[in-house]
Amino acid sequence: QKEVEQDPGPLSVPEGAIVSLNCTYSNSAFQYFMWYRQYSRKGPELLMYTYSSGNKEDGRFTAQVDKSSKYISLFIRDSQPSDSATYLCAMSGGRSSASKIIFGSGTRLSIRP
């Protein structure tokens, strides 16, 4: 079993729709949860960074963490064609830079104009 499971998609939605992306994990030691966006043939770019359970909102993006269920989500409101990319969930066990990050395999998202 992988430490982090993520549906690879592809996921295609019309412009303006709400997008829900999810990951599950098995390691209860994970404390820090991240979402990265990766455009084709580019490096990953950090979108959201949350600690422990709860919600965090940043513009059109909301990240949710449910540690009891080992489940994290990213919601994108009013989706735009420019949001089309691969979204990677990621997590680590510690806060310091010494903690390696474990990534999901990524969900490919396409927003149709």
Partner 1 sequence: NAGVMQNPRHLVRRRGQEARLRCSPMKGHSHVYWYRQLPEEGLKFMVYLQKENIIDESGMPKERFSAEFPKEGPSILRIQQVVRGDSAAYFCASSPGTSEDNEQFFGPGTRLTVL
Binds partner 1 by CB under 8 A, chosen from 14, 43, 59, 113: 43
| 11 near partner 1 (CB under 8 A) | no
In our burial notation (b when 16+ CB lie closer than 10 A, e otherwise), range 37-55 reads beeeeeebeebbebeeeee
Instruction: Please identify, using beta-carbon distances, which residue of 14 and 43 lies nearer to partner 1.
Output: 43
Nearer to partner 1, 1 or 96 (CB): 96
Q: How far apart are CA 14 and CA 88, in angstroms?
A: 21
Rounded to a whole number of angstroms, the minimum distance from the CB of residue 58 to partner 1 is: 14
Distance (Å, rounded) from C-alpha 81 to C-alpha 49? 23
Applying CB under 8 A, among 19, 21, 92, 111 the residue interacting with partner 1 is 92
Among 14, 68, 97, 113, binds partner 1 (CB under 8 A): 97
- Count CB neighbours of 64 within 10 A: 19
Under a CB-based contact definition with an 8 Å cutoff, are residues 61 and 21 in contact? no
d(CA 82, CA 104): 22
The interface with partner 1 within residues 16-35 (CB under 8 A) comprises 32
112 binds partner 1, rule: CB under 8 A: no
Interface residues with partner 1 (CB under 8 A)? 4, 6, 8, 32, 36, 41-46, 49, 88, 92, 94-106
